[in-house]
Every structure is written in C-alpha cells, then in structure tokens.
C-alpha cells in the first residue's frame, strides 16, 4: 500500500518558542539603554498575539578578558512570566564569542512540537569562541532548519547577509541595523512584527510555508537603519583567528529564576 502524502499544511503549530541570542560585548555599551527599552517593547509587541502560545529564551554573550561567558537569563519561559530587561540584567562588556553563544542556545532547546524562532543580534563578528567554529555552527543551523526551525540574523557594523549566510542563514532572514537609538528601536519593533507574521503563517499554513516568506519588509529594513535605505554598512570588522575545537574555556551562568 502506497504511503499517504503529507499535506503541505500538516506542520501547522499553535505554540512558538523564541530564542534571543543577544550580544553583550563592550561595543554594545553605546546602545545599552535603547537595547533594554527596545527588547522590552519587543516583548510587549508579541503579547498582542492572542492566538499563539509563546515561550521565550534569552542568552546573552560576551568575553571579559580571555574567558568567554554566556548568561542564560531564562530558557523556555512562558511569555507572561518573562521579566523586563534592566540596567542590572544587561551589562555590555568584553569580546564576541558568537559561535559559542549560538551553539549553546541550540543544544539547550527542546521544540516540543512547537515552532522555533532563533534571533541572533550582534554588532560585531566572532572573535573569541572556544568550542564552536563557523562550520560546526553552520551544520547545526542547517540541521535545525531541516526540522522546521527559523533563524534570523541581525547585525550592525557588519554585512549581515554575508555573515549570516556563512552560517547557513538565508539572506531574506538577515538584516543590517544601525547602531543608534533609532536603529535599535526600529530593529526590535520590526522583530516583533516579523515574529507575529511568522506565527500567523505557522498556525494557518504550516512551518514550511512560513519559512519561505521573507522575514522583513523593505519599510522594516529601512527602520532598522534609522530611516535610511537598507544598504550594506560602509565597513566590515575583521574577525580574529578562531581557536574553536579546543576544550571549552568559557563559563555558563544561569540566572536562578531561569
């Protein structure tokens, strides 16, 4: 007996887990206040969706000295219980162990039959990971995308499509943002709108269909650049030589309430 073909909409989901991988390196200090307020506005923005059951994970990353560090602020916490970000819970410092942060986030996630959106926010390129490499992260992302996960890469002062693309993230899910109050505010507002559209498509059409749609409109991309045309940045930071593959030399801090 021939197998019954799966309906294109068979992967519809009502629940959504959003993982935010947030750069906490020293260069983010100039937009600390706008990052805090923007993130909190983002949470309020997705609360407008009463048809989707959201849970949120927040992993912050930096590298004080030679010791890359991740802070797991919370994992898979129901949206209604997620606390606002504050001056005390977001303190920019150190370098950028981007690959380690993405890898640690991915391996901690259990989809549990829900849609998964992983949003990576950074204003610089990888320069201090100890465990994961670009190739190992690309393999992880490619594998999870095959399972229906959605990845979004948001970058300031870098070519986000080039950096995100090198990690296997589609260009339509990458966006540049301006490292300014207006740019950061526009980024979190656009992120909320993008998530709401994605969740609606995942509920009504299924994850595969939702993943085929561009993450941001041209208007949203412009708002991320502080109202300017969404063009590539004028320069690209050089990445330091990777030491990935060696025994992990970074700390993971879990907030007690996580």
d(CA 209, CA 15): 16
Residue 128 has a pLDDT of 85
- Largest interatomic CA distance in the chain: 64
- What is the CATH code for 15-254? 3.40.50.410
Consecutive sets of 10 residues in the chain, 258 residues long: mean pLDDT of each?
A: 51 97 96 97 97 97 85 96 97 93 95 97 90 95 96 96 95 96 97 98 96 95 85 44 50 70
Q: What's the predicted TM-score (pTM) here?
A: 0.88
* Percent helix / strand / coil, the chain, rounded to 5: 35, 20, 45
Residue 33 has a pLDDT of 97
Residue 258 has a pLDDT of 60
- The total number of residues shown for the chain amounts to 258
Residue 239 has a pLDDT of 43
Where exactly are the structural domains of the chain? 15-254
148 Cβ contact partners less than 8 Å away, ≥ 6 residues apart? 11, 111, 115, 116, 207, 208, 211
């Amino acid at each position: 007996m021939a197998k019954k073909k799966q309906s294109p909409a068979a992967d519809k989901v009502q629940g959504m887990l959003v993982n935010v991988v947030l750069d906490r390196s020293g260069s983010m200090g100039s937009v600390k206040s706008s990052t805090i307020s923007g993130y909190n506005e983002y949470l309020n923005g997705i609360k407008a969706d009463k048809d989707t059951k959201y849970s949120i994970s927040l992993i912050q990353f930096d590298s004080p000295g030679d010791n890359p560090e991740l802070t797991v602020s919370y994992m898979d916490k129901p949206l209604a219980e997620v606390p606002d970000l504050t001056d005390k819970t977001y303190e920019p410092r150190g370098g950028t162990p981007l690959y380690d942060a993405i890898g640690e986030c991915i391996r901690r996630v259990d989809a549990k039959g829900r849609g998964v959106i992983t949003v990576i926010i950074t204003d610089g390129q990888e320069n201090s990971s100890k465990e994961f490499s670009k190739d190992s992260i690309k393999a992880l992302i490619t594998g999870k995308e095959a399972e229906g996960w959605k990845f979004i890469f948001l970058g300031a002062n870098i070519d986000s499509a080039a950096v995100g693309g090198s990690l296997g993230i589609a260009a339509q899910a990458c966006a540049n943002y301006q490292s300014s109050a207006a740019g950061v505010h526009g980024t979190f507002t656009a992120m909320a709108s993008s998530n709401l559209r994605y969740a609606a498509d995942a509920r009504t059409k299924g994850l595969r269909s939702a993943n085929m749609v561009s993450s941001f409109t041209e208007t949203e991309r412009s708002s991320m650049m502080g109202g300017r045309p969404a063009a590539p940045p004028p320069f690209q930071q050089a990445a330091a030589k990777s030491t990935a593959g060696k025994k992990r030399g970074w700390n993971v801090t879990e907030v007690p309430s996580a």
